[in-house]
Amino acid sequence: MYRQKIGLRAEYRDQEGERVKASPSLADKFQKLKSLIVKVGYYNPKGVAQNGQLKYVVNLENAKSVFRFRCPNDECIRGDFDLTKELASAVAQKRTTVSGELSCQGWQNKTTIDTIHCHNVLRYELKLAY
């Protein structure tokens, strides 16, 4: 049972990891982008903050353009947060600040697959310079 849960999670993370690795770097994909600062905060489905906030300057040469953040729920199956589209449209529109929130579309844990979504929330702010 335990092993199977880890198996499902590991399998999904592996697939997504491959997708991230195969994508071009941010510097290659968005050549006009000069800097990117990301601020994210994690919240549970009720909006209560979890694990504090994270703010960092993205290394455009190393970071990949499939731009994902892990869900803080250790049991989450096929979840995580994907800011790929948000980032691409911000750059396309040459926006300098973008913020919003995403809700994790994974399952809360292995026993709730197809019944209860994880729905953890990621609030994000991207600061971009060109």
CB 91 within 8 A of CB 65: no
Work out whether 91 is an interface residue with Zn ion (CB under 5 A).
no
- As measured in angstroms, the least distance from the Cβ of 35 to Zn ion is 29
And the tokens for 54? 């994270």
Q: Which of 105, 78, 106 is nearest to 16 (CA)?
A: 78
User: Which is nearest to 109 in space by CA: 4, 1, 5?
Assistant: 5
CB of 83 to Zn ion, least distance (A): 15
Using the rule CB under 5 A, is 40 a contact of Zn ion? Answer: no
Q: Under the criterion CB under 5 A, does residue 30 sit at the interface with Zn ion?
A: no
Nearest Cα to 26, choosing from 74, 58, 71? 58
Q: How far is the CB of 13 from Zn ion (least distance, A)?
A: 12
- Residue whose CB is less far from Zn ion, 83 or 90: 83
- Using CB under 5 A, list all residues that contact Zn ion: 71, 73, 76, 79, 104, 106, 118, 120
